[in-house]
């Protein structure tokens, strides 16, 4: 995760993705089981978020695709 992106647990059904203070959207419940466990225990700082796809002409729910990865601490 860099200084701009942030992942936050929103209840147990979704994870929100932020760019600074602006919420970009959510990762659906079906795709967050392992990720939400780390976030609930306070380990959000081990993740990095990257935008892999952007097309502002699409429907808002399809404009961005992201990747959430564990930081390489080596």
Q: How confident is the model over 35-51, as a mean pLDDT? A: 84
pLDDT averaged over every residue in the chain: 78
Q: How does pLDDT run across 16-30, given as a tens digit for each residue?
A: 887 778 877 777 777
| Whether residue 6 has pLDDT greater than 70 | no
Q: 36: burial class by Cβ within 10 Å (0-12, 13-18, 19+)?
A: buried
- Greatest pairwise CA separation for the chain in angstroms: 39
Predicted TM-score of the model (pTM): 0.64
Confidence of residue 56 (pLDDT cuts 50, 70, 90): very high
pLDDT-derived band at 1 (thresholds 50, 70, 90) equals: very low
């Amino acid at each position: 995760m860099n200084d701009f992106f942030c992942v936050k647990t929103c209840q147990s059904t979704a994870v929100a993705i932020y760019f600074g203070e602006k919420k970009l959207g959510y990762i659906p419940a079906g795709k967050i089981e392992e990720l939400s466990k780390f976030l609930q225990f306070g380990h959000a700082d081990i993740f990095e978020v990257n935008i892999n796809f952007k097309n502002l002409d699409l429907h808002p729910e399809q404009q961005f695709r992201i990747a959430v990865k564990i930081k390489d601490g080596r």
